[in-house]
Amino acid sequence: MADRRQDETNTAHNEAMKRQQAEHRAKMREKKQTERGLLMINTGDGKGKSTAGFGTVIRALGWGHKVGIVQFVKGAWKTGEKEFFTRYPNLVDMYVMGDGFTWDTQDRAQDIASAEKAWAQSRTMMESGVYDFILLDELNIVLRYDYLDVAEVLAGLEARSDRTSVMVTGRNAPEALVVVADMVSEIKAVRHPFENGIKAKQGIDY
Ligand code: ATP
Ligand code: MG
């Protein structure tokens, strides 16, 4: 009789513990969800996707956050942002795809190799656990050209450190990326000076 009561007490105890454990796990999941860095996408045909990315870089730096930038664009072009971070090299870790190469050749194989190198760099930074914010500027563009495999990019973003928020920019964000992102902003073009024959302006467009 005493044994049976003992068994019942044990079973009740075990069940209570299981319930407690399940509650604890759910809480941890919730916590992890809310404390995890965000995946954000700036897409659409309007101007301001990269600009918003660099605005967020400044905001993060203001709080002393550790910031990384990878630009999936041809590195031979001079841009204000590259000039700025070259002048202040300690502010961020910046990597420009194909920097140091000549981009006059229309070499697809070379473009793919450069995109892969830039992506490998992005993955290393995302997994390192040292960055609070990483801007992957124009990643959508190389995905659009099929220079990188979307599934591989999704896996890399998913494998990022919990502390790291990532912002991906570029037109035509692939649907597979859009569905998993925490934030998706689509910038709509209402008017662009280019339509009126106004050329790209230094300090505004590049
Ligand atoms: P920005 O870098 O100025 O924030 P963006 O990242 O939104 O622009 P991209 O698609 O990366 O836009 O294009 C970069 C360049 O193309 C910039 O010089 C930008 O002014 C220009 N551009 C952006 N939208 C348009 C448009 N709708 N028509 C013509 N040119 C555009
Ligand atoms: Mg851009």
pLDDT value at position 17? 81
Ligand nearest to the CA of 81: 1
Ligand nearest to the CA of 185: 1
Q: What is the per-residue pLDDT across 122-164, written as a single tens digit (0 to 9) for each?
A: 999 999 999 999 999 999 999 999 999 999 999 999 999 999 9
Instruction: Please state which CATH class domain 36-189 belongs to.
Output: alpha beta
40, 47, 49, 141: residue to mutate for ligand 1 pocket, most atoms within 8 A of CB? 47
Q: Which residue did the predictor score with more confidence, 27 or 78? A: 78
- Domain ranges within the chain, ordered by starting residue: 1-31, 36-189
Query: Can you tell me the distance from the alpha carbon of 77 to that of 3, in angstroms, rounded to the nearest whole number?
Result: 81
Q: What is the per-residue pLDDT across 165-191, written as a single tens digit (0 to 9) for each?
A: 999 999 999 999 999 999 999 999 999
Q: Between vectors from CA 140 to CA 104 and to CA 147, what angle results, nearest 5°? A: 55
Q: Which atom of ligand 1 is nearest to the CA of 169?
A: 6
pLDDT value at position 101? 55
pLDDT value at position 193? 92
Number of H helices, E strands in the chain: 7, 6
Q: What's the DSSP call for residue 97? A: T
Q: Tell me how far CA of residue 41 lies from CA of 14, 34, 75, 88, 111, in angstroms.
A: 46, 18, 22, 27, 23
Ligand 1 binding pocket includes 51 (Cβ within 6 Å): yes
Q: Which atom of ligand 1 is nearest to the CA of 200?
A: 18
Q: What is the per-residue pLDDT across 68-112, written as a single tens digit (0 to 9) for each?
A: 999 998 777 789 999 999 999 999 999 999 775 555 557 888 889
Q: What is the mean pLDDT of residues 31-50?
A: 90
Query: Can you tell me the distance from the alpha carbon of 99 to that of 73, in angstroms, rounded to the nearest whole number?
Result: 9
pLDDT value at position 13? 83
Q: What's the DSSP call for residue 63? A: T
Closest Cα to atom 13 of ligand 1: 47
Ligand 1 binding pocket includes 183 (Cβ within 6 Å): no
Ligand 1 binding pocket includes 8 (Cβ within 6 Å): no
Q: What is the mean pLDDT of residues 42-64?
A: 98
- pTM, 2 dp: 0.84
pLDDT value at position 77? 79
Query: Can you tell me the distance from the alpha carbon of 147 to that of 115, in angstroms, rounded to the nearest whole number?
Result: 6
Q: Which atom of ligand 1 is nearest to the CA of 189?
A: 27
- Ligand 1 centroid–CA 27 distance in Å is 43
- Ligand 2 centroid–CA 63 distance in Å is 24
Neighbours of 171 (CB within 10 A): 16
